[in-house]
Amino acid sequence: MPDNGVGTPREQVLEAAARLFTSKGFAATSTREIAEAVGIRQASLYYHFAGKDEILEALLAATVRPTQMMVEEIVALVPPERVETALCLLALVDIETLARVPHNIGVLYQLPDVVSATNLDYASFREAHGELTEAYADLGSRLAARHGVTAPPPALGSMLIQQVEGVITLRADGHVVDSTHAMEIAAGCLRLCGCAQTEVEGATDRASALQEKTSLLARGA
């Protein structure tokens, strides 16, 4: 495997695959092309991944796993009575994850050739995405109940995570997702749960102040 100074060999394969999948499409990209983009033999690629499907699943998991693994830490940073702040902080961390993944790989699970690939089950991605949706549902339903908003938790969780995943569309349309976009999206999550503007402003201020702590935790600081 080559050492070009940009990540481990496995990371180099993932980066090349992300670039090719998002530019050419999943079905139109071969493992040979991925190997050539990295500068290795096709046989060497199989040392790290069983095939193209496994590469795709690893890329998809990277869009949700970092946030899903931070849920407990996020909740622990916020007093229970400040559930609006916890929900806002979760949204901000999730937005940051989606905004920084290379080549906007979140768009992959929206591509027709991925959606129609019945041989793929994305087990790792689906598990992480499901657990993250449940976290949104738990925080969102507690906040909604406070405001008299009636919505089944599963439906509310789905609405909240879809609100955040609007980041993928913004990036696909050529926008750079900055802190202003992030705050607007997170505030939208709070409004879905019935929060008034004053509560939204307080929650976004507190969550923004805590976000640096979550970044340090994610880096193992």
Q: Cα dihedral sign for 35, 40, 43, 47?
A: negative
Handedness of CA 62, 182, 103, 107 (dihedral sign): positive
Taking the C-alpha atoms of residue 10 and residue 17, their distance in angstroms, rounded to an integer, is: 11
Q: Provide long-range contacts, Cβ within 8 A and 24+ apart, for 138-141.
A: 139/75, 139/83, 139/86, 139/87, 139/90, 140/87, 140/189, 140/192, 140/193
What pLDDT, on the 0 to 100 scale, is given for residue 62? 92
Phi, psi of 36 (to 5 degrees): -65, -35
Residues 98 and 214: their CA atoms lie apart, in Å, by 15
**How would you write the pLDDT of the chain (221 residues) with one tens digit per residue?**
444 546 788 999 999 999 999 999 888 999 999 999 999 999 999 999 999 989 998 999 999 999 999 999 999 989 989 999 999 999 999 999 999 999 999 998 877 777 666 566 677 788 889 999 999 999 999 999 999 998 899 999 999 999 999 999 999 999 999 999 999 999 999 999 999 999 999 999 999 999 877 765 455 43
Helix and strand numbers, DSSP H then E, in the chain: 13, 0
